[in-house]
Structure formats: structure tokens, C-alpha cells
Structure 1
Amino acid sequence: MFKKFLTIFTLTFSLANVALAEQANPQIVMKTNLGDIKLELYPEKAPITVKNFLDYVDSGFYEGTIFHRTIAGFMIQGGGFTADMHQKDTKEPIQNESNNGLSNLQGTISMARTNYPHSATSQFFINAVNNYRLDGSNRRPGYAVFGKVTDGMDLVVRISRSPTAPKSGHRDVPKQPVIIEKITRFDAPSKPE
């Protein structure tokens, strides 16, 4: 009788762990030429944004892009330009999800956009400090937070302090390119090289 109970308990516990694992937030690693940044994404709070970002990740879009705008005491922006400042073609813009209850705190990742609220495509930024002024409100849209750095925040701050110069009509471009070599999911099966 006890053995049967133990078997049922173990099976139930195992199934519960599988269910929790399936509901876990996506984890990604951003490999750069300066080191790795690990992030957790929040699909429950920003479903459109997370799906859009992961579509770009899964397609390999970000490979060879750079952090093309870095400002100390503010943020690092990337995901749209190659090292020669060629802007990559993107998919259609997405709906702004900035009023999702998440704030642009230090270490959060948000979608970059133009002055038009619903213009975000592939570019993102990681907040090097708390940037509450970028949050949305009932009166105005902000910048949609969709995840947070879990490891590598020291690298984010170091990148934000990179010496910069104007390049190809853009300001605040690091003099030494900070290249995103690859972004992958933690749980993604490894591809043969």
C-alpha cells in the first residue's frame, strides 16, 4: 500500500514539475564579443513583444548586429545595425505594450521605437540605470519592458561607458564595435556547427 502511494506521489510530483517547467519564463543568452548577458523574458506581461523578440532570436536575425548607441548613466541600444552601420530589414512594427505594469528599472530590457508609439521592430535597449521617465502612463505611451538581465549587468554598465563618436549619421556609437555574436534560448536544442 505504501509503495503504491509513493509511486502515485512521485508521478504526481514529476508531472507538477513538468507543468511548472513548461510555464517558466523564457531564458536567453546574448553572446557578445565582450562577454555574455543572460536575460529572463516576461511573456505574461508583454506577449506581443516577447513573441516578436523571440521570432527575431530564433531566425538568427541578431547575429552580427551591434550595440550602436551607448550612453553612460542611461542605456545600451542594439539589434538593428551591423558593424558597418548597415540597417537590417525588419518585419512589420508591433503594438506598444508599455502600460503592462513593468517599469524601466536598471537591468530591464525594453523595445526601442521612434516617436510613433507603435513603431518597434527589432531594436531593443537595456537600461543601465532606473529610467522611470521612459515608462508609459494613461496619458502617454512609454517604452515596453519585456524582460530583465539575470546575469551580466556589470557588462551592460561597462558597455554603456564605452567611448563613443558620431558614425554614419548616428551619435553615441561605440568607437570599438560591441558585436552581438548570437542570441539563443537556454532551452533551445544546440545546433550542429
Structure 2
Amino acid sequence: MTGKFVKLLLAATALNFSSLANATIVEVTTNLGKFEINLYDQSTPVTVQNFLNYVSSGRYDGTVIHRSVPGFVIQGGGFVFEQQLPLQAVSTNAAIVNEPKWSNVRGTVAMAKLANNPNSATNQWFINLANNSGGAPSLDKQNGGFTVFGHISSADMSVADAIAALPSFAFNGISDLPLRNYSADDRNDNKPLVADNFVVIESMVVVDARVDTVAGQTLVPTTNSGASDGDDSSGGSANWLWLLSLGLLKLARRK
């Protein structure tokens, strides 16, 4: 390999990663359909870059939606199914600082965190199926506020709603695992799970590398008046075996 060719290859690689670093729209392909996430590069830069690091490394490809609470959230990014349970955790990068700037309204995408440990979001994310900003569960205020870093168009939310409409079951400490082609009778008979039963993220790719695609759109500010733009003490992640207490409505990243 000639020195000139190596330089050209390195330059092309650098250009590619530069585009990824500035990406605004990511297309998510699941076995139930596709949707696009419009990222907030300029207002939540740390969270967006963290998300894109997982996208560019391919670590989201093959992960499953491991949690579904209809009327609340669906959650993914943390686990893969390797022919048998329990689900296997995806390797994570260092936790990131919280950036609670935008409200957790329907269609927004936010990072999951460990309860009572604000700055610890890593790879798990969730889609708000409803307005979860105030009242209960008040995700704008809980645990310092959950960082919203993008949104899904109203048309693409049909995919998220289809996932939420699936029946969910308890397996190996996961209480809200959505499954395809699996019934309560199957669960009662302890029918083993196969790959086709899961909602799988088949791929995530950048489809628009512009950083200003949210320009002109109305974003809803967080309802947490005490939220800061990055040095807030909020953020977190949770062991995946820890069950969500629906009474307390604490959203946790499981690992």
C-alpha cells in the first residue's frame, strides 16, 4: 500500500467521521418498520455526540427494544438476544453529563439514567409515547430531568405505537419485554423465545448530516426551571435487573 493511498484513505475516513459528528437525522430500521430521529446537535451537543458514537460503531445494530409501557415509553439501546436468555448487555462508553433543556413530550427521544444518579446516561434511550413532562411521571423534573436530544415525526410515531401495542412479558428480571408472535398461553407453557419474537433494531444510519435541520421548528422547553445546560447534577443508569417501580415511576437504564 503506497503512502499516497494511505493518506487518501485516512482523509476519507476523517471526512466520514466528521460527517457523523455533525449528523442531525438518523434513520432507525426495525423489524416492525422505520423511523427517523431528528437530533438536537446544537442545544444538546454532548448527548448527541454520545448517541452518534454508538451509531457509528454499530453497537445499536441488533439491539432489542427491551421495555415497553404503553402510554409512557418504549426503551432500547442496551441489550442483544443471543439465542437464549438472559439478554446480553452491549458494551458502553463513559457516562455523560446531563443536558436537560427540552421537555419530555410525545415523540421526543431521551436518555435513560440510573435512579438518583443524574450524570450517568450511557447507551440506553427511550421514546416518549405521551406527554411525560409534568404531573406524574414528570420526567422533566425527576432525577434532575431526563435529557431530550431529538424527536420523531408524528408520521413515524406509528412505528413506536405499533411496538407499544405488542404484549409484554416478564423474563429474567425484565418486567415489560415486548414480544412479537408470542401469547400469554406461550408464556404459561414456558415456550422458549427465538430471535423473531423480539423487536430488533436492525440498523441505525445517518441520512442527513446537516446540523440545522431543527431550525424553524418549535421545540418545547423543559418544565424544570432549575435545569441547566450541562452542569446539572442529574443523569444516571440502572442495573437491568432492577425493576421499575411503577408506583414511583422512576425511569432507569438497565445493564
2:158 to 123, 144, 154: 154
Whether the 8 Å contact between 1:107 and 1:126 is mirrored in structure 2 is yes
Describe the SS at the equivalent of 2:78: strand
Quote how far apart the aligned CAs of 1:155 are: 1.0
Please name the residue that 2:11 is paired with.
Answer: none
Aligned partners of 1:175, 1:39: CA distance in 2, in Å? 23
Describe the SS at the equivalent of 1:186: strand
Q: What letter corresponds to residue 90 of structure 1 in structure 2?
A: T
Structure 1, unmatched stretches of 5+, are: 1-23, 189-193
1:174 to 174, 178, 181: 178
Aligned partners of 2:23, 2:106: CA distance in 1, in Å? 19
Please name the residue that 1:42 is paired with.
Answer: 40
Quote how far apart the aligned CAs of 1:89 are: 1.4
Describe the SS at the equivalent of 1:56: helix
Quote how far apart the aligned CAs of 1:187 are: 3.5
Matches within 5 A, 1:46-125: 46-83=44-81, 84=85, 85-98=87-100, 100=101, 102-115=102-115, 116-125=117-126
Aligned partners of 2:98, 2:141: CA distance in 1, in Å? 10
Please name the residue that 1:134 is paired with.
Answer: 139
Whether the 8 Å contact between 1:25 and 1:40 is mirrored in structure 2 is no
Aligned partners of 1:160, 1:120: CA distance in 2, in Å? 23
Whether the 8 Å contact between 2:28 and 2:205 is mirrored in structure 1 is yes
Aligned partners of 1:25, 1:80: CA distance in 2, in Å? 22
Describe the SS at the equivalent of 2:65: strand
Aligned partners of 1:180, 1:46: CA distance in 2, in Å? 24
Please give the TM-score of this superposition, normalised by the length of structure 2.
0.60
Q: What letter corresponds to residue 122 of structure 2 in structure 1?
A: T
Structure with a larger share of its residues in strand: 1
Describe the SS at the equivalent of 1:31: strand
Describe the SS at the equivalent of 2:144: coil
Please give the TM-score of this superposition, normalised by the length of structure 1.
0.79
User: What is the number of equivalent residue pairs in this alignment?
Assistant: 161
Aligned partners of 1:51, 1:38: CA distance in 2, in Å? 17
Q: What letter corresponds to residue 63 of structure 2 in structure 1?
A: T
Aligned partners of 2:29, 2:90: CA distance in 1, in Å? 19
Q: Percent identity?
A: 41
